[in-house]
């Protein structure tokens, strides 16, 4: 299998689908000659032309609205939002239109639209260009939300997202674009809603997604040197979410921790915790749940403060170690 970066894997998926299906096209700000803010669409306009790689004005509501319209008449549009934060400018289109049209028309219409956006902190881009807003869209019925952590998953899940009849938000963490991994260049997509156990363990289950999967895995290796065996689940998609995988893991380990970069208040971690507490897995718990999240503050511009905002490997390791060594009785 060839090795490619995460960004190249995303581009490979788009190019594959554009070659395979003439209905697929991409549009967004500076995605043509410039190649996108993070270079993901570099060279695509030369291959597919300006009709299928369409540079747009700086108007997210208009871009997403045009994507919805194109989807409704049979196209398969991919909208790139230059920073995922800017989706806020198109919230009415995303939440009140794309998410609801299928239901409001009695299932007779569908919106096969993919909205891609670079998400997350770590690049010094400050509060309006560094957020993790996936919980907003996780909350909305009618939307699917995908956040892959590895190049192979980025390609396979994007293939499936483009082919899906529903609107899909596809968030790509900025710090993942340059990581490399083996990627199968095939026509086979990965099913949405299937998580993956990245590391098996017996003392605790840690659920993560996107960049945090890498940091949790590194923290787990450190904890192994201290005698703790941690299981790590990569969700890959948040909607649909692989709740059965989480529950079975918790039944084996008796402990659950959730790690995400988004702020803790109202985050996806709270939903995961609630689903476990409402299930039969609750009876298997031997300690309280743990959430390791971004701080409840806007992402700072100052590099040291920005590093303190998001869970680092050190913070994840220390939080897990302190939690695992607690003597807690649930009786």
Q: Quick one: 3-182 is in which CATH superfamily?
A: Thiamin diphosphate (ThDP)-binding fold, Pyr/PP domains (3.40.50.970)
Q: Which residues contact 276 (CB under 8 A, 6 or more apart)?
A: 246, 247, 250, 256, 282, 285, 289
Q: What is the pLDDT of residue 117?
A: 97
Q: How buried is 126 (Cβ within 10 angstroms: 0-12 exposed, 13-18 middle, 19+ buried)? A: middle
The residue extents of the domains of the chain are 3-182, 196-324
* pLDDT number for residue 331: 41
pLDDT at 131: 97
Q: Report how far Cα 156 is from the mean position of its chain's Cα atoms.
A: 13
Distance CA(93)–CA(82), nearest Å, equals 17
DSSP secondary structure of 90-114:
GHIIIIIIITTHHHHTTTS-----E
- Distance, first Cα to last Cα, the chain: 52
Question: Mean pLDDT over all residues of the chain?
Answer: 96
- Report the run of H or E that residue 146 belongs to, with start and end: strand 144-146
Ranges of residues in the chain whose predicted pLDDT is under 50: 329-331
pLDDT of residue 1: 78
Determine which one of 129, 138, 173, 260 is catalytic. 129
Tell me if residue 173 is catalytic. no
Given CATH 3.40.50.920, say whether it is the number of domain 196-324.
Answer: yes
For 195-248, the DSSP string reads -EEEE--SSEEEEE-THHHHHHHHHHHHHHTTT--EEEEE--EEES--HHHHHH
* The predicted structure's pLDDT at residue 150: 98
């Amino acid at each position: 299998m060839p090795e490619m970066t995460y960004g190249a894997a995303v581009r490979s998926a788009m190019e594959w689908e554009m070659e395979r299906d003439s209905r697929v096209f991409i549009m967004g700000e500076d995605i043509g000659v410039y190649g996108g803010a993070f270079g993901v669409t570099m060279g695509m306009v030369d291959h597919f032309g300006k009709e299928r790689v369409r540079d747009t004005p700086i108007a997210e509501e208009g871009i997403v609205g045009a994507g919805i319209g194109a989807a409704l008449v049979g196209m398969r549009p991919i909208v790139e939002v230059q920073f995922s934060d800017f989706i806020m400018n198109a919230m009415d289109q995303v939440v009140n239109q794309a998410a609801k049209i299928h239901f409001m028309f009695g299932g007779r219409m569908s919106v096969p639209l993919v909205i891609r956006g670079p998400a997350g902190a770590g690049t010094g881009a400050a509060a309006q260009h560094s957020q993790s807003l996936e919980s907003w869209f996780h909350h909305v019925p009618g939307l699917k939300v995908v956040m892959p952590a590895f190049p192979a998953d980025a390609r396979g899940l994007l293939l499936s997202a483009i082919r899906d009849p529903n609107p899909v938000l596809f968030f790509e963490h900025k710090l993942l674009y340059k990581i490399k991994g083996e990627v199968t260049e095939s026509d086979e997509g990965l099913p949405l809603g299937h998580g993956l156990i990245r590391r098996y363990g017996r003392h605790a289950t840690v659920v993560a997604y996107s960049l945090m999967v890498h940091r949790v895995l590194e923290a787990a290796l450190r904890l192994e040197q201290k005698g703790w065996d941690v299981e790590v689940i990569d969700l890959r998609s948040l909607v649909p979410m692989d709740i059965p995988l989480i529950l079975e893991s918790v039944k084996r380990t008796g402990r659950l921790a959730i790690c995400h970069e988004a702020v803790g208040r109202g985050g996806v971690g709270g939903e995961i915790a609630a689903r476990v507490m409402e299930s039969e897995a609750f009876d298997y718990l031997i300690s309280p749940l743990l959430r390791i999240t971004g701080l409840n503050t806007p992402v700072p511009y100052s590099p040291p403060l920005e590093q303190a905002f998001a869970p680092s490997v050190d913070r994840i390791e220390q939080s897990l170690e302190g939690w695992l060594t607690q003597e807690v009785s649930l009786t």
